[in-house]
Amino acid sequence: MLLIVGYIIILLASVGTYAVHGSLAALWMPMEYVAILGLALGGFIAGNGIKAVKATIAALPKVFKGSHLNKALYMDLLAMLFEILSKVRKEGLMSIENDIENPDQSPVFAKYPTIAHDHHVMEFICDYLRMMVGGNLNAFEIENLMDVEIETHHQEAHVPVHVVTRMADGLPAFGIVVAVMGVVNVMGSVGAPPAVLGKMIGGALVGTFLGILVSYGFISPVAGQLEQKVEEEGKIYQVIKTVLLASMNGYAPQVAVEFGRKVLYSGDRPRFIELEEDLKARKGK
């Protein structure tokens, strides 16, 4: 939503202020618009593999949606981890074998649909709980493996960010290309009347204007939004990692989820008493 608001402000500040003393019709040069868009699209396709192209197209709708990662979701996550670790502490590691092998049928996970419906998060949780059940790896080895997986996820999620950033960086240069082509066209018509030449030169400059405006006003903000969402989405894996490792190191479930709470950003982090009361209320149901 804020992206749209920002776009409106940018248009008002650029085209709107120009309209006060200039003619908007002078900015309407369809061929320059087609050329800029064609160059941007061509550069996007030529500069990326099919995986990067698909990942970028799939990621773009996220910039128009609000984040689902909020305090309520993290409260559910911490409560779910607390419940599964409490079950382990009372009944042993083997008691959660059915839960992690068939998470869709788990009565524990079913209580937390917002988490259970996130395939990647559930896979991350179940994979490391499975390793804990197996008992073949210690906490240090699992921590190293978690770090590698989180870093891999982070790099993969950043692919659309890099793609969109490169596109934004290239647009001013494409604007210059379009402007130069316009100037070349003007040079071939030097005998035309000044009014005609002025219109042609103005049209050439529209290419430069458009390339810079689209780059910094429209594409760069998309890259910024994508990067922020990648950082937000990576936090949930750090919380899970911290809680599970605390449990493996012998801390009680209540203490383990407190470790996870401390990892959260301040805007999403529940207060200690808030989390404690929430866990008690869920336990009483």
Q: 156 and 120 in contact (C-beta within 8 Å)?
A: no
Mean pLDDT of 9-30: 84
pLDDT over 80 (residue 189): no
Mean pLDDT of 16-26: 80
pLDDT, tens digit (0-9, with 9 covering 90-100), for 77-136: 999 999 999 999 888 888 898 888 888 888 899 999 999 898 999 999 999 998 888 777
Q: 159 and 217 in contact (C-beta within 8 Å)?
A: no
Q: In the chain, which residue ranges form alpha helices assigned H by DSSP?
A: 2-11, 17-21, 30-46, 50-59, 71-91, 97-101, 113-116, 119-134, 139-157, 159-187, 194-213, 220-248, 253-263, 272-284
* Ranges 99-108, 158-167, 219-228: which has the least confidence: 99-108
pLDDT over 90 (residue 151): yes
Highest mean pLDDT among 13-22, 63-72, 174-183, 260-269: 260-269
Percentage of the chain lying above the pLDDT 70 cut: 98
pTM above 0.75, yes or no: yes
Give, in order, the Cα–Cα distances in Å from 174 to each of 43, 46, 79, 148, 212. 10, 14, 52, 39, 9
pLDDT for the residue numbered 258:
94
pLDDT over 80 (residue 201): no
pLDDT for the residue numbered 271:
92
pLDDT over 90 (residue 9): yes
Percentage of the chain lying above the pLDDT 90 cut: 49
pLDDT over 80 (residue 284): no
pLDDT, tens digit (0-9, with 9 covering 90-100), for 22-62: 778 778 888 888 888 999 999 999 999 999 999 999 999 88
CA distance 9 to 23: 20
pLDDT for the residue numbered 140:
87
pLDDT for the residue numbered 225:
93
Question: Mean pLDDT in the chain?
Answer: 88
Mean pLDDT of 202-230: 89
pLDDT band at 263 (very low <50, low <70, confident <90, very high): very high
Give the HSE-up count for residue 256: Cα atoms under 13 Å, Cβ half-sphere.
Answer: 26
Residue keyed to tokens 């550069």: 43
CA distance 82 to 252: 9
pLDDT for the residue numbered 22:
76
pLDDT band at 285 (very low <50, low <70, confident <90, very high): low
